Amino acid sequence: MPDAEIIAVGSEMLTPQKIDTNSLFLTGQLNALGVEVVRKTVVGDDRARLADTLRHAMAHAQVIVLSGGLGPTEDDVTRDAAALALGRELLFRQELYDAIEARFRRMNRRMAEVNRRQAFLLEGAEPLPNDRGTAPGQWIERDGFVVMLLPGPPHELKSMFARECLPRLERRLPHQAIRSIELRVAGMGESDLDQLIAPVYTKYQNPATTILAAASDIQIHLRARCRTAEEAEALVEEVARPIEELLGDRVYSRDGATLEAVAGRMLLARGETLCVAESITGGMVAQRITSVPGSSKYFLGGMLVYTDAMKERLLGVERALLVEHTAVSEPVAKAMAVGARARTGAAWAVSLTGYAGPDGGTEQNPAGTFYIGIAGPGILEARRLQYAADRARVRALATQAALDWLRRTLMRA
C-alpha cells in the first residue's frame, strides 16, 4: 500500500508568524484514499536543500506532494528544485504563458515579465490548471511514484487538488481504506497508561498506535489500513475493545470528543443545567464549556470570584468561613458551589479555588493546590488536588480535573 510525504515550501513557514495548514487538508484527503502520510517536512526557499528533501521523499514514499514555491519571483524555487532532484529539464510552454496572460487581462491588469517563470514545466509533466490563481501545478509520474507540485495559497491548493489530483489518484491507487478510533482518557498519567495498555497494542503493527498527552488529558489514536473499510473497522475495534476494558471509566470518548463536549452531552440528555464559580481558573472552565456549539441549552453562566470580597458578595460565602478556613479550603469550595447553584437555579454547580503560584500558598496548601466543589441534586462534595507545576499548567490541570469530576459525578448520580 502506498505511503505519502508532504513537503511544505517557504521560508515564511519557518517563522512563528506563519503556520502550514495545507498539510492538514492534504493529510485528510490522502487518508480518505487509504494513503498513509508518513512524513511532513517544512523547507525554506533553498533550491539545493529542497532538492535533497525531495530525493529523500522519493526513496521512501510513492506519493509526494509539494505545496508552495510556484510563484513568479526568484525565491519561488520549487520548479527548479524538482527539476534538479528528478534530473529533468524545465521547458517553456507557450500555452501556459498565454493562459496566465489571459488571466491578467480578465483582471484588467498588465502581466509583469517575471510571471513568465510560471510557464515553465518539467519535462514529461502534466500541467494542472489553476482556476484560483496564476501558478499552474504539475503532475509528474516516474518509476512507480507520483510527485505533485501545488501552489501555496490554500484556496488555490484545495481547488486544484480536488479538481485535478484527486481524480488522478483515484484512478491510479489500489483500493484501500483507513479507519481510526481516538480514545480520550482523563484521570491518569501517560506513563501509567502506557504501562497498562502496552501489552495490548504492542502486539500489532496494524493498527498503528499513537499516544498523545496534554494537561491530564491523553489521546490514544488507533489507525488501521486494510483493503476494505470493513476489514479496517474490525481490526481497529479488535485493539480498542481490550484497551477500553483496561481503562474503564477513565475513557471519556472514542470519537475524539472533548471532555467539555461529553459533559455537555450528559447534561443535555438528562435535561439538567450547569453553572460555575471560578477563582483560580479565572473563567477557563466557562470558556471551555461555552466553546461547544449549543452549550446555551444547558449552561446558565458563571461567576468569576477572584477575591474574598467577591466570594462573599456574589456567592454569599460567609466571612467567618473565609477567616477560619481561608478561601483555599474544602468548606469554601463547597460554599461557593452552593452559592452559585442557589443564585442561578442550575441543577449543578462546579467551583474552583486554589493557589496557582508561583507565589502564595501556605504550609498546609502550598502553591499548586486547589479545591473543586460540586453541588447538585442530593450531592455536595469537594476534593483537594495538588500539582508541582508552573502557573499555566496548574490552571489547565484544575480546569481538566473539574470537568472530569463533573462527568464522573453525572455518571453515578
In whole angstroms, give the CA distance from residue 69 to residue 84.
Answer: 15
In whole angstroms, give the CA distance from residue 151 to residue 130.
Answer: 9
> 33 phi and psi, to 5 degrees?
-90, 0
What was the pLDDT predicted at 236?
96
1 has pLDDT over 80: no
The pLDDT tens digits of the residues spanning 234-266 come to 999 999 999 999 999 999 999 989 999 999 999
- The answer to whether residues 346 and 274 touch, using CB atoms and an 8 Å cutoff, is yes
In whole angstroms, give the CA distance from residue 29 to residue 24.
Answer: 9
277 has pLDDT over 90: yes
What was the pLDDT predicted at 215?
73
The pLDDT tens digits of the residues spanning 153-191 come to 999 999 999 999 999 999 998 888 889 999 999 989 899
317 has pLDDT over 90: yes
Q: Is the whole model's pTM more than 0.85, yes or no?
A: no
In whole angstroms, give the CA distance from residue 322 to residue 258.
Answer: 35
Place of cell 524555487: 77
> 183 phi and psi, to 5 degrees?
-85, 130
In whole angstroms, give the CA distance from residue 95 to residue 79.
Answer: 18
For residue 128, give the 3-state DSSP assignment.
Answer: strand
Partnered with residue 303 across adjacent β-strands are 277
Which of these, 307, 278, 306, lies nearest to 290 by C-alpha position? Answer: 278
CA atoms within 13 A on the CB side of 367: 11
Which of these, 44, 40, 32, 30, lies nearest to 5 by C-alpha position? Answer: 40
33 has pLDDT over 90: no
pLDDT band for position 293 (cuts 50, 70, 90): very high
What was the pLDDT predicted at 161?
97
- Count of all residues that appear for the chain in the document: 413
- The answer to whether residues 73 and 152 touch, using CB atoms and an 8 Å cutoff, is no
In whole angstroms, give the CA distance from residue 411 to residue 413.
Answer: 6
The mean per-residue pLDDT over the stretch 89-111 comes to 92
What was the pLDDT predicted at 125?
97
Q: Say how far residue 61 (Cα) sits from the centre of its chain.
A: 25
387 has pLDDT over 90: yes
Q: What percent of the chain lies above the pLDDT cut of 90?
A: 86
For residue 384, give the 3-state DSSP assignment.
Answer: strand
> 257 phi and psi, to 5 degrees?
-65, 140
